[in-house]
Structure 1
Amino acid sequence: MKFSSLGFPLLGSSIFSSDTDTTQYQIQQRENLAFSPPFYPSPWMDPNAHGWAEAYAKAKDFVSQLTLMEKVNLTTGVGWEGEQCVGNVGSVPRLGFRGLCMQDAPMGVRFADYVSVFPTGQTAAATFDRGLMYQRGLAIGKEHKGKGVNVALGPVAGPIGRIPEGGRNWEGFSPDPVLTGVGMAETVRGIQDAGVVACAKHFIGNEQEHFRQVGESKQRGFNISATLSSNIDDKTMHELYLWPFADAVRAGVGSFMCAYTQVNNSYSCQNSKLQNDLLKNELGFQGFIMSDWQAQHSGVASAVAGLDMTMPGDTEFNTGLSFWGTNLTVAILNGTMPEYRLDDMVMRIMAAVFKVGQTINEPEVNFDSWTADTFGPRHAAVNKGYQQVNYHVDVREEHGNLIREIGAKATVLLKNKGALPLNKPKFVAVIGEDAGPNLAGPNGCDNRGCDNGTLAMGWGSGTANFPYLITPDAALQARAIDDGSRYESILSNYMTKETKALVSQANATAIVFVNADSGEGFIDVDGNAGDRKNLTLWHDGDALIKNVSSWCPNTIVVIHSVGPVIVTDWYDSDNVTAILWAGVPGQETGRSIADVLYGRVNPAGRTPFTWGASRESYGVDIMYQPNNGNGAPQQDFSEGVFIDYRHFDRTNQTPIFEFGYGLSYTTFEYSNIKVAKTQAGPYTPTTGQTAQAPTFGAGNYSKDLKDYLFPKDKFEHIWQYIYPYVNTSTSLADASADPEYGRTAAEFLPPGALDASPQPLLPAAGKSSPGGNAELWDAMYIVTATVTNTGKLAGDEVPQLYLSLGGPADPPVVLRDFARLRIEPGQSAEFRATLTRRDLSNWDVVKQDWVVSEYPKKVWIGSSSRKLPLCADLS
């Protein structure tokens, strides 16, 4: 086996002893990909689960008072545009419970006014700062709380970023599972400390926008009958895609959202392996799973497979039809659906609500997703219930300062030939559309579905309305005026003559702003159907950079982008004196970048992904054309865990900028690595059984359908609104509009789906320990190193610990810990990292448990995934 200069094994086919071994491994991988094994019954809540006991007791008290229809009402959305939020479940007026409001959240409160637009998750990840990730989550949670939202639909670990062109990668954090896991956990803690339930999404393998929905695909001319299937093997699932979701569960997240896509040819929202086995059983998740909007494809079958809430409630928008609602009521009455499963669904929902400190008397929602007017219909779908719907409550507090700080501290200095920081430059010439405003206003494009002006937000459901947007042009002009500098800007990529005339002048410092955008698949921007068509800069940004740098010997490039872009043709030009990646920073983008350019903030951001020399260098790409006739497109994740820097290391490629890379205005040295082994005991696989499935309430519901008819004498029936009431009093079969409910459970439910007896605990599961076996988080080693600031300026440094697991099929190194340290000139700081048992383990597909292999293991410490000067063996 060959090794790199750092001692990493150069993988590729050399991880196997022969080409035959490689072929056999690939065949075995593919055979395991296309099928999702069933797992039943759906695990029920654990009253003793760590962090959930008090919430469980409150939920039990509440749920025990509910009628059958009230329980159904809490599991079923009221329908698209049925009430004021993007998702709402029904109320329990008898007990004073107004129902629940679910609202999109990754960058702020969607569809509301007087809210903030935060940096993307990906931008926050670039700070490599746990504290800032938490503060961002807390602020986002506070704003949702102030608007009356119960559940904030974020954070995002699916997509994790398998494919750099993926449309929604910016909503998540990083293609590295540890960095994403930290982002997930800190964001969950922040949101829920603010009193709002966080929702980890999209579970799982939701890595591209193409073919995520049948209807959306058919509108683009693709005749498919089912959504894309992400085919993922067991080992890859655990070591990569499930890893950050496990961190969210361990952090106490209250809800999950299952995805549109299939996994191993089973829809995510009725995939019993994903929901029952991995999430609720192995990880011990105690909260509730909601469907993505219209991602439910069955009634009782999805319930017994682990789904707890359907969003937005109707089978298709504005049909008035639902898989649950009436049908769920009938299913309980005729015995198709076990009563304990409904009780568990409602218990999980209410426990999540109580866990974050909410009560049954929460304030009313004070905004409306469907109109900016003060007065409007409560039920926008049918224009009913005219009332005040918007109270224009300002929830922003001082969050603009935090947004500015994150944007600056996330900025990655990729290149600097001494051009930065700026110090009262004589003449500043700012070039490019990305420096300026959208002429239609910052919110001028629906769901931000355009790329006009500076890029401060992607597009789709993960957006929010800007309260203001400070452009780079505005911020830099203000600074230039204060400095007495000459300042001119050309906010176009295409005024070639005028640009040349400007930047060719003496003493010019040219700052070129360029971008690359993406978003959700229901919007197409310039032929980019959510996913990017390529990895080049938009609006001929590459040509703009090459032109300006040919005319000006001091050209600084600022990139706002949703992921890596190809910089191969110009990054090493002598006239390109500095390059910065500023991510997608939200409303304070101009002041954030000005703070870095002028040295108010010494940059220490680290790139949360790898910058390859070409599109092909990543080894994976979007599936742009279906590959299975009119069936479900099949996307095999046959690269396993080898995405992003793991792929580059495996194939011995030299990236342009490696994962974790970033420069500073000062310099640092690393020394004195030490490894201390702890006294942690041996690992003990979990054994034993759960308790029997509990039920709450009388359990002796009336079987007379007259008791379940719509009460016309009490309130008006709203068309399209989803209710739990039955349609007729003649028979149970006639009461349902779904033929599934006329059959017995034995006719269509898998074996074990109705089993209420005690169930065996999995070895990797915890006994009342959300996140998995608690011993996986035992600290095994403490690793320390000294970091010294050898320069003349104070600055932050981001030491990173990487681990070589040592096995022939393992990545050369994997990130396991990091910190962001503030160090004064000439001073040193200690970097202290912890390696847990999980960090050291591989997933054993035979034992179905985590195992520390016998292969020798090394730790590496340095400033990026490729700059690791310190190394030590683990005993």
Structure 2
Amino acid sequence: MRLITNTALLAVAGSALAQDFSKDGNYGAPFPNTTYPGFESNNPYAIAGSLSNQTSPPKYPSPWGEGRGDWATAYTKARAFVRQLTLEEKVNLTTGTGWELDRCVGQTGSIPRLAFRALCLQDSPVGVRDTDFNSVFPAGVNVAATWDSGAAYARGQAMGSEHKGKGVDMQLGPVAGPLGRTAAGGRNWEGFSSDPVLTGVMFAESIKGIQSAGVMTSAKHFIGYEQEHFRLVGDAANYGFDIAASNSANLDDITMHEMYLWPFADGVRAGATSVMCSYNQVNNSHACQNSYVMNYLLKGELGFQGFVVSDWLGTNSGVASVLAGLDMTMPGDSNVYDSGDSYFGANLTVAVLNGTVPAWRLDDMAIRIMAGFYFVETNVTRGPINFSSWTLDTYNYEHYYVGEGWTQVNDHVNVRSDHANLIRSIGARSTVLLKNVNNTLPLTGNEPLTAVFGNDAGPNSDGPNSCSDRGCDEGTLGMAWGSGSSNFPYLVTPDTAIQNTVLAAGGAYESSLDNNALDTMGALARRANVSIFFANSDSGEFYIEVDGNLGDRNNLTFWQGADEALAAVTGNCSNTILVVHSTGPVLLEQYASNPNITAILWAGVPGQESGNSIADVLYGRVNPGAKLPFTIGANRSDYGTDILYTPNGAVPQIDFREGVFIDYRTFDRHNETPTYEFGFGMSYTTFNYSDLRITKLNVSDYVPYSGYTSPAPTYGNFSSDPADHLFPANFTRVPDYQYPWLNTTNLTEASKDPHYAAPGSIPLNAQNGSAQPYPKAGGAPGGNPMLYDVLYRVRATITNTGPLAGEEVPQLYISRGGPYDPVRELRGFERLSIQPNGSTTFNVDVTRRDVSSWDPVAQDWYVRNTTKRVWVGSSSRRLLLEGVLP
């Protein structure tokens, strides 16, 4: 094992911004790199704070956890456990053992002396990755489309129980970053919505659900991770791009707080046990060694009590990252997988021995990790890991990459329970009805001839799991690609489910599933009484290229040649229903206005029960009540932001000059008419809104948090003699495995750490363990507790005026009234089930945070003295009731 050098503390700024342009798929339309001209924020702070090559301010020391809020019991147990540990055992908790060297995608070292097996960290946010007999759940974007916090919790609980059943300790999810700054973002589907409030609610409920099953969460990706292109140097090099470092998300303090940090505050308040830092840089400092975002924002302002884990290969240094707030590195390797080197491991042992990392900082890392464990678990002893991420064979190598330890690695435990019912229900309840001319839907099933069309209606002929990490677009889109995927136990296609429904009702059924068979499609469409066409648009992670798309989508149009095939159908059938499976917005303007398309549904990325879910909606077994979690624009340029497809320097610079104006905020600000607005969705019944009531509560004025932490505690002593930290005698090493012990007693030679020779290069206060002041916006998990005081209660009456029982999602929007604020912003919602002629009350509590603005000078929240208008409606543009907050 070779010990390696810790890298410099701060990232070097990138080179000057170039004027590069990219193209939209095959259509040749030029688009600026990240923001269209004229779409810059009108806030001077946002413009000044989103410049290429700007720097991130240093914030030290890294706050030590204190067991605040609901964490007291977990911290008591964690302290008792860590007091027993040696220096090496503490290091083992923080360091992954290496890629493909243990069973899970990430695995820490173990502590055999205390019967503590390794922590198993496993993808994904839609189900247990890389195993069998697991479920595939609807994507996060579908959960957001339900606008139902209960669905988010139930899905989280079911996913958590499946991870638990496989022996997983931490599920790598849920996702609030990317938030969805760009409509073409490759991993938007893993997250929830382009709105921070909707995302925050679904994020928090997912965390609660997963952790209720006794599994830790890794809330990710923190922060500014809004595109796939140029996230890692190695990935970029594989595609022929020559960059020196990961892209830098350049954004101002207001935008950070009012948009991208908002859902993470909800996640921390919900008890997230860990947060995963992201690949990108933030203001030209790597997110996983950025002291401002980890030390100040996350652990300081948000009062995060859990631990920060790197994304895989997201660690760029040892001492620098540790002092900046990183608590665990994954998968343990340094710059490349299976390198045999680690920035942590033995290097962290050296750093503590030579004093560059103070002992209290390592103790805090170990305490935070164990507090996260005890927050959801009661016993150190737990079930074994019963699967291998690297093979589905029953027998294989325990240390797969190096071929050592032949044993049974897969027990093939079936953890699916009855989750198929929940998956089917969420798939149906997340299907958004966008168009329904003359009550085309629901269908009866006994139409004389039903015809189904499109590649997206059928199977992948090689099987649903034939493409690694779902890295292809063959057949129906049940799941997108990347590390956020999992193996299907089965995939019910729309072709199968609709055929079953039609045949059971006595109808006739035919399908044509080849988008290249235009003549065949046209001939069948001429005979059909109803044609149902399926089209998709896929995306995923940057390490996989699909049809020329490097994670991020090249366009917002249909894939698989669906446009031409759809034209062949609509040209021959005046009763065509379009069903869209997509990871985000698709341009639908031409189809919304096509008279031969009588209904349109957006079904997202629905998971294993895809066909059954859409059939339930098409045939009225489920009355659609979903709403769009993003805007569907008429033109790509209407969104105002885009992917940086071509590097604009050695360190690609992504300037968030639009500030808080993304998605519907942009459309509202520029008075652009979308095809279908954010929050829009129809039903098979109708609803009336009435009787808006606003009640002001008597609440104390906001007080900035004040006070000091206790001094940094340390737990246990260790020998300062390097000879006491050498590899144990007669110890058998696994090649390339990460261990905490040293090869030599010469620390300078062992580490080659420049900070050992030049301790003055350590940032000011980074080693300071004295009592520290709390941020004014801090004080508890989620931030200053007074931010969550309820200032107003908003009520309205919703009546079902139609013939069917249905579900409606009333939405509350507020204007904060500032000169640089959006026209209106979502601040509350509720999914209501209402019987015909029945009424129910829509209830939203408006908190201080909901009406506050961020002051970048005072570094705190404040309520601006302006008129604050309130709207309640069925979408961001259908605002049926209006009032003013008194």
- TM-score if structure 1 supplies the norm length? 0.95
The residue type equivalent to 1:762 in the other structure is P
Q: 1:34-70 CA deviation, whole Å, 9 max, x = no partner?
A: 21100000000113x1110000000000000000000
Q: Contact 2:312–2:330 at 8 Å: present in 1 too?
A: yes
Alignment of 1:106 onto 2:119: no
The residue type equivalent to 2:468 in the other structure is D
The SS at the match of 2:749 is: helix
The SS at the match of 2:456 is: helix
The SS at the match of 1:475 is: helix
Alignment of 1:489 onto 2:504: no
Tell me by how many angstroms 1:425 deviates: 1.6
The residue type equivalent to 2:844 in the other structure is A
* Equivalent of residue 312 in structure 2, options 270, 287, 293: 293
The residue type equivalent to 2:563 in the other structure is D
Alignment of 1:799 onto 2:810: yes
Alignment of 1:708 onto 2:722: no
The SS at the match of 2:539 is: coil
The SS at the match of 2:589 is: coil
Task: Label 1:23 to 1:305 Cα distance change in 2 as closer, same or farther (>3 A).
Answer: closer
Alignment of 1:135-284 (within 5 A): 135-284=154-303
Q: Contact 1:337–1:745 at 8 Å: present in 2 too?
A: no
Partner of 2:733: 717
How large is the Cα RMSD of the aligned pairs? Answer: 1.5
Q: 1:759-800 CA deviation, whole Å, 9 max, x = no partner?
A: 01111001xx20000010000000000000010000001000
* Equivalent of residue 635 in structure 1, options 628, 645, 654: 654
Partner of 1:421: 442
* Equivalent of residue 403 in structure 1, options 394, 417, 423: 423
Tell me by how many angstroms 1:24 deviates: 5.9
Partner of 1:825: 836
Partner of 2:778: 765
Partner of 2:753: 739
Partner of 1:367: 387
Task: Label 1:73 to 1:741 Cα distance change in 2 as closer, same or farther (>3 A).
Answer: farther
Q: 1:634-657 CA deviation, whole Å, 9 max, x = no partner?
A: 110010000000000000000000
Alignment of 1:474-513 (within 5 A): 474-505=496-527, 508-513=529-534
* Equivalent of residue 394 in structure 1, options 403, 411, 414: 414
Distance 1:753 1:676 in 2: 48
* Equivalent of residue 867 in structure 2, options 856, 861, 865: 856
* Equivalent of residue 547 in structure 1, options 568, 578, 582: 568
Tell me by how many angstroms 1:238 deviates: 0.1
The SS at the match of 2:571 is: helix
Tell me by how many angstroms 1:572 deviates: 1.2
The SS at the match of 2:534 is: strand
Gaps of 5+ in 1: 1-17
Q: 1:401-436 CA deviation, whole Å, 9 max, x = no partner?
A: 000000000000000012100012221100000000
Partner of 1:8: none
Task: Label 1:166 to 1:23 Cα distance change in 2 as closer, same or farther (>3 A).
Answer: closer
Q: Contact 1:160–1:177 at 8 Å: present in 2 too?
A: yes
Distance 2:419 2:885 in 1: 44
Alignment of 1:386-785 (within 5 A): 386-417=406-437, 418-423=439-444, 424-505=446-527, 508-628=529-649, 631-697=650-716, 699=717, 701-713=718-730, 715-729=731-745, 731-736=746-751, 738-740=752-754, 742-746=756-760, 748-766=761-779, 769-785=780-796
The residue type equivalent to 2:173 in the other structure is G
The SS at the match of 2:590 is: coil
Distance 1:550 1:490 in 2: 16
Distance 1:433 1:27 in 2: 45
Task: Label 1:27 to 1:669 Cα distance change in 2 as closer, same or farther (>3 A).
Answer: closer
Distance 2:458 2:72 in 1: 52
The SS at the match of 1:218 is: helix
Distance 1:63 1:659 in 2: 48
Distance 2:660 2:493 in 1: 39
Gaps of 5+ in 2: 1-37
The SS at the match of 2:371 is: helix
The SS at the match of 1:404 is: helix
Distance 1:479 1:83 in 2: 46
The residue type equivalent to 2:739 in the other structure is Y
The residue type equivalent to 1:682 in the other structure is D
Distance 2:53 2:550 in 1: 27
Q: Contact 2:41–2:661 at 8 Å: present in 1 too?
A: no
Distance 1:706 1:279 in 2: 38
The residue type equivalent to 1:763 in the other structure is K
Matched-pair identity in %: 56
The SS at the match of 2:797 is: strand
Tell me by how many angstroms 1:21 deviates: 12
Task: Label 1:346 to 1:301 Cα distance change in 2 as closer, same or farther (>3 A).
Answer: same
Q: 1:152-189 CA deviation, whole Å, 9 max, x = no partner?
A: 00000110010010000000000000000011100000
Q: Contact 2:812–2:826 at 8 Å: present in 1 too?
A: yes
Q: Contact 2:777–2:783 at 8 Å: present in 1 too?
A: yes
Q: Contact 1:107–1:119 at 8 Å: present in 2 too?
A: yes
Task: Label 1:167 to 1:21 Cα distance change in 2 as closer, same or farther (>3 A).
Answer: closer
* Equivalent of residue 52 in structure 1, options 71, 90, 96: 71
Q: 1:662-696 CA deviation, whole Å, 9 max, x = no partner?
A: 00000001000000011111111101111000011
Partner of 2:877: 866
Tell me by how many angstroms 1:571 deviates: 1.8
Tell me by how many angstroms 1:570 deviates: 2.3
Q: 1:816-844 CA deviation, whole Å, 9 max, x = no partner?
A: 00001010111111001110000010001
The residue type equivalent to 1:796 in the other structure is E
* Equivalent of residue 396 in structure 2, options 376, 382, 386: 376
Q: Contact 1:32–1:233 at 8 Å: present in 2 too?
A: no
Tell me by how many angstroms 1:206 deviates: 0.2
Partner of 2:14: none
Tell me by how many angstroms 1:540 deviates: 2.0
Q: 1:287-333 CA deviation, whole Å, 9 max, x = no partner?
A: 00001111111111110100000000010211110111111111111
Distance 1:751 1:707 in 2: 31
The residue type equivalent to 1:776 in the other structure is L
Tell me by how many angstroms 1:31 deviates: 5.4
Q: Contact 1:161–1:207 at 8 Å: present in 2 too?
A: yes
- TM-score if structure 2 supplies the norm length? 0.94
Task: Label 1:808 to 1:68 Cα distance change in 2 as closer, same or farther (>3 A).
Answer: same
The SS at the match of 1:311 is: coil
* Equivalent of residue 153 in structure 2, options 134, 153, 157: 134
Q: Contact 1:777–1:838 at 8 Å: present in 2 too?
A: yes
The residue type equivalent to 1:67 in the other structure is T
Partner of 2:17: none
Distance 1:761 1:447 in 2: 43
Tell me by how many angstroms 1:568 deviates: 1.9
Tell me by how many angstroms 1:742 deviates: 3.8
The SS at the match of 2:288 is: helix
The SS at the match of 1:181 is: helix
Q: 1:94-122 CA deviation, whole Å, 9 max, x = no partner?
A: 00001100001211000011000000000
Q: Contact 1:800–1:818 at 8 Å: present in 2 too?
A: yes
The residue type equivalent to 2:471 in the other structure is G
Distance 1:24 1:688 in 2: 32
The SS at the match of 2:370 is: helix
